[in-house]
Each structure stands twice: as C-alpha cells, then as structure tokens.
Amino acid sequence: MRYWIGSRIRMFREAKKISQKGLAEQIGVSSARFSNWEQGSNRPDVDFIAKICKALNVSPSEMLDFELPSDELSDLERNVLAQYRNKPEIRKAVNILLGIDADQ
C-alpha cells in the first residue's frame, strides 16, 4: 500500500526549499524514516504530522488536503475571538458585559 500524504509533504517541503535531511532533523527523525514517508512506504503518525505542519508553516487541513466546513464567523467575529483569547486580562469584563457566567 502506498500512502498519499508523502507527496503532500514533499510538495510543501520543496516549496519552502528545505532539504529532506534538514526537515528530518528539525522534527527529530532519521533521514531514512522521513524518506520513507515521502516515498509513501510508511506514513507519519499524528504527532509527527503536527511537527511537520509547524515546521513548514502549513495548516493540518492543507497538509491533509481536507477542507474544513465554514464556521460562518465573519472576519470581525474571528478578530474579536482572537483578541479575547490573547488578552486574558479583559475576559472577565467581556463576560460581565455579555452576561456570561464563566464558572459554568
């Protein structure tokens, strides 16, 4: 059985102009193991897929060629949510303004 994810890994790696050896070292595996993934003889487990995605700055959905359904949030709503997550000091005030019981 040949695994298709290897060709996706190779495509993103080559686009970033990173060698197999360089990426293998970056994620902590041998060059031979990494080569087997790209050739499709084996596939990386989920922990290594996450490391590969992070190293190549690619989302898991891009790497796996899987489009996530729309979450129907506007750009403004995404920005508000990101700010809420990034600024814990304002969460309590926001929760009070929105009438959210954060203890639930």
Q: Are 8 and 58 in contact (CB under 8 A)?
A: no
Is the confidence at residue 104, as pLDDT, over 70? no
pLDDT given at position 81: 83
pLDDT per position as a tens digit, 43-93: 999 999 999 999 999 988 889 887 666 667 788 888 888 888 888 888 888
Which two tokens mark 54?
């992070």
CB atoms within 10 A of CB 52: 25
Cα–Cα dist 25/6, whole Å: 17
Name all domains of the chain by residue range, CATH numbers in brackets: 5-63 (1.10.260.40), 69-104 (no CATH)
DSSP 40: T
Q: Are 38 and 27 in contact (CB under 8 A)?
A: no
Instruction: Report helix, strand or coil for 70.
Output: coil
Q: Specify the range with the lowest mean pLDDT, choosing from 7-21, 28-42, 44-58, 79-93.
A: 79-93
Which tops the pLDDT comparison, 23 or 85? 23
Phi and psi (nearest 5°) for 14?
-65, -35
